[in-house]
Amino acid sequence: MAVTMLQDWCRWMGVSPRRALLVLGVPEDCDDAEFQESLEAALWPLGHITVLGKVFREEDRATAALVGLDREVDYALVPREIPGAGGPWHVAFVPRSSGEEFLGRVFHFLEQHGQSVEGLAGALGLGLPRMCWLRSVSRAVQPLLGALRYQRLGVFSGRDPPGPGEECFEAWLDHAGDMLQLWQEVSERERRRRLLEGLRGTARQLTYGLLAENPARTAQDCLAALTQVFGERESQATIRLKCVVARQQTGERLSAFVLRLEVLLQKAVEMGALARASADHLRLRQVLTRASLIEPLDEALRKLRLVGRPPRFLEMLGLVREAEAWEASVARNLRARAQREADARAQREADARAEAPAVARAQAKAEDEKVEKEEEE
């Protein structure tokens, strides 16, 4: 079940499940610094790690975290448990690849470099049955090694000034724009993966948030959003003011407002106009005071504010989307009910029109009988 959750979460965020781990059983009161320290102490042999997201699971009464790696999981090094607050945290990962999958990837790589499986089999003196087997193995794993034929992006995190080994946004943007043009032949999902590969820190978290809000968003859309956040520098007072006065526009979905607000908050944090610890509180305040909320969502958010636990961006987005789904369901039910009532009225009117001639004939007959009776008298 944990592996299924890991795969679904990775699919939702557009990352490879073979470059991610799922950490379960983290206490809710474990602060970010302690959590990060425990992860790095246990997972440092696996390379650079990034916390891609957290979610509180009611069934466990604990937090689950998705951790991204900069390379595929090394099964010999990944721990089953991580010593941490509240006891050991369980680590879940996808099972290792089969030998057949590995061979298929190798032959696909050869084909990508101009070698056919048939030609390779002939050169090796293999007969037709084995050649057919090689072809079937090759077709079974076609998704691999196109990734080996592209130039990786440089690293951009959004820090100002850039850290060691990182690029400034303008240089990174020029390279990323050129690469997106060269990657026209690959799938959109692969383009997004390659773009995310060059991101770290706040820039990566923001892009994950964009994809979580709309998984169909293209790599070019993500690049445009990053440009909006990191491309134009405003004064600290101006960007903070934009955060404080941001409100839901007429006709704007609440989820769209939350995402638009998040872009402003992340920009304010990066510019030093807003403390990172204050972003959750400001996000909650703006949604409560500057947006139109249905009663259940308003009540839930006010309770969180009362206990001093403002939801983070992905948690807020999840609550909002659940509320929007519930509201849409209620609207559909009301429309269906109105339609049924309209159909019933139309049926009654049709029945009345159908009965009208019979009633008229009965009335006419009664009048005739009355006249005849009066004449007889």
pLDDT at 117: 52
First to last CA, the chain: 96
Q: Could you read off the pLDDT of 48-66 as tens digits, one per residue?
A: 888 888 888 877 788 888 9
**Least confident span in 106-110, 124-128, 251-255, 259-263:** 124-128
Q: Could you read off the pLDDT of 347-371 as tens digits, one per residue?
A: 888 777 777 676 667 777 777 777 6
pLDDT at 97: 54
Give the pair of three-digit tokens for residue 2: 């944990």
**Least confident span in 67-81, 106-120, 231-245:** 106-120
| Predicted TM-score (pTM) of this structure | 0.38
Answer yes or no: is pLDDT of 229 > 70: yes
In CATH, what number does 1-93 get? 3.30.70.330
Answer yes or no: is pLDDT of 319 > 70: yes
Answer yes or no: is pLDDT of 114 > 90: no
CA angle 222, 56, 298 (to 5 degrees): 80
pLDDT at 281: 92
Answer yes or no: is pLDDT of 128 > 70: no
Place of tokens 């510019």: 271
Answer yes or no: is pLDDT of 284 > 90: yes
Answer yes or no: is pLDDT of 211 > 90: no
pLDDT at 146: 44
Answer yes or no: is pLDDT of 42 > 60: yes
Answer yes or no: is pLDDT of 122 > 60: no
pLDDT over 90, % of the chain: 12
Q: Could you read off the pLDDT of 19-35 as tens digits, one per residue?
A: 899 999 898 888 888 88
- pLDDT: is 145 or 268 the higher one? 268
Mean pLDDT of the chain: 79
The domain limits of the chain are: 1-93, 169-230, 236-325
Answer yes or no: is pLDDT of 194 > 70: yes
pLDDT at 285: 93
Place of tokens 């002939």: 122
Q: Could you read off the pLDDT of 305-316 as tens digits, one per residue?
A: 999 899 998 889
Q: What is the 3-state secondary structure (H, E, C) of the chain?
A: CHHHHHHHHHHHHCCCHHHEEEEEEECCCCCHHHHHHHHHHHHHHHCCEEEEEEEEECCCCEEEEEEEECCCCCCCCCCCEECCCCCCEEEECCCCCCHHHHHHHHHHHHHHCCCCHHHHHHHCCCCHHHHHHHHHHHHHCCCCHHHHHCCCCCEECCCCCCCCCECCHHHHHHHHHHHHHHCCCCCHHHHHHHHHHCECHHHHHHHHHHHHHCCCCCHHHHHHHHHHHHCCCCCHHHHHHHHHHCCCCCCCCHHHHHHHHHHHHHHHHHCCCCCHHHHHHHHHHHHHHHCCCCHHHHHHHHHHHHCCCCCCHHHHHHHHHHHHHHHHHHHHHHHHHHHHHHHHHHHHHHHHHHHHHHHHHHHHHHHHHHHHHHHHC
Distance CA 148, CA 170 (A): 26
**Least confident span in 36-45, 128-137, 166-175:** 128-137
